[in-house]
Amino acid sequence: MEGRDQGTFRDRIARNRRNSLLLMAAFLAFITIFGYIIGFAWLGDPTRALFGLALALVVGVVSGLISYFAGDKMVLAASRAREITHDDAPVLFNVVEEMSIASGLPMPKVYIVDDSAPNAFATGRDPEHATVAVTSGLLEKLDRDELQGVMAHEMSHVANFDIRYSMLVGILVGTTVLISDFFLRGLWFSGGRGGGRRGGDGGGQLQIIMILIAIVLAILAPLFARLLQLSISRQREFLADATAVRLTRNPKGLADALQKIGGDREVLEVANRATAHLYIANPIKKFEKRSKGLFSTHPPIEERVMILRAMEAGGVAETTGQTSTETP
């Protein structure tokens, strides 16, 4: 059973790496097509439209490089997190070290966000450049077993390369929104005429068609990109929960932690829509004004706890959200 589990998890990690490459390739292909259509719609000429294609690729590559090499620093800065040492929080450091050894990963940097709302996240581009961050409220409100469950979950995101995949998806969403917004605003200020006209009725009609296609893509592309991001985020939370249990052999600790985090009414002020998917539980509560129009970045905590309780009772839970009564 153990050998089969090892193979299964290794397969999933390898699939995450392959998916990262596929996602990047698909992203570049989409940006290329999107940029050309916008260039044609704006300039009205198939040759001059290559300028739009080139501009979109430059924006995509530059934002990708910045996010890949400095994305974790931007997330930590936006979260107002500060790096700590062992002397600042010895229990937290010991737990992270335990999970680092259990997972066979390098020791990540450890940060604290001074906020009373309990939550945590991991970020970075790979296990060698990973960071885990917890709120001060998490340290105050969880016992050691619960803290271990949370840190095992975050280290699982590192081990499964979810941190890199989340960063790539974030680049996709951000760049798509940036290009779409740039085009729509430019079209609005130009009165819908674009930046140029191709001579002849046929050219003008074709440009109008391309403008309509570009408008539809500019409106729908960010929505589909966001839905893709949320879908991926939800699936990977289940996998990280299962991996965490494999590291700790204690599903109760993570289940109890999730219940406490989910039931807490404190507001995590530094959380926003760009970073919400990184946290172990959605940091933006339903009763907050900023939650309006926000798609769910996480599977329901109740469902995650139910799966963990099934593990605790001796059942084997799958990361798809299903449970079975098979005993080890």
- Residue extents of the structural domains in the chain: 2-324
Q: Using CA atoms, how far apart are residues 212 and 204, in angstroms rounded to an integer?
A: 13
Residue 3 has pLDDT above 90, yes or no: no
| Residues annotated as catalytic (active site), given as ranges | 154
Q: What is the pLDDT of residue 328?
A: 35
Residue 53 has pLDDT above 90, yes or no: no
With beta carbons less than 8 A apart as the criterion, state whether 247 and 255 touch. Answer: no
**DSSP code, position 183:** H
Identify which of 207, 279, 261, 262 has the alpha carbon closest to the alpha carbon of residue 39.
207
Indicate the SS3 state at residue 182.
helix
Output the CA angle 296-297-301, nearest 5 degrees: 80
Residue identified by tokens 């803290």 is: 147
- Would you state the structure tokens that stand for residue 206, as one six-digit string? 């074709």
Q: Using CA atoms, how far apart are residues 270 and 132, in angstroms rounded to an integer?
A: 16
For 57, 247, 316, the CA distances from 106, given in Å and listed in that order, are 34, 15, 29
**Tens digit of pLDDT for each residue in 7-19?**
455 666 566 667 6
Q: Binding site: what residues are annotated?
A: 153, 157, 237
Instruction: Specify which residues 122 forms β-bridges with.
Output: 132
Q: Using CA atoms, how far apart are residues 40 and 183, in angstroms rounded to an integer?
A: 12
Please give the helix or strand (H or E) that residue 130 lies within, else none.
Answer: strand 130-135
Highest mean pLDDT among 23-27, 82-86, 174-178, 190-194: 82-86
- Would you state the structure tokens that stand for residue 109, as one six-digit string? 């940097």
Q: CA quadruple 308, 314, 318, 320: dihedral positive or negative?
A: negative
Q: What is the pLDDT of residue 144?
A: 97
- Would you state the structure tokens that stand for residue 28, as one six-digit string? 């570049």
Highest mean pLDDT among 24-33, 45-54, 261-270, 275-284: 261-270
Q: Quote the distance between the C-alpha of residue 132 and its chain's center.
A: 14
Output the CA angle 265-223-120, nearest 5 degrees: 30
> What global pTM score does this model have?
0.77
Residue 178 has pLDDT above 80, yes or no: no
Q: Binding site for Zn(2+): what residues are annotated?
A: 153, 157, 237
**DSSP code, position 1:** -
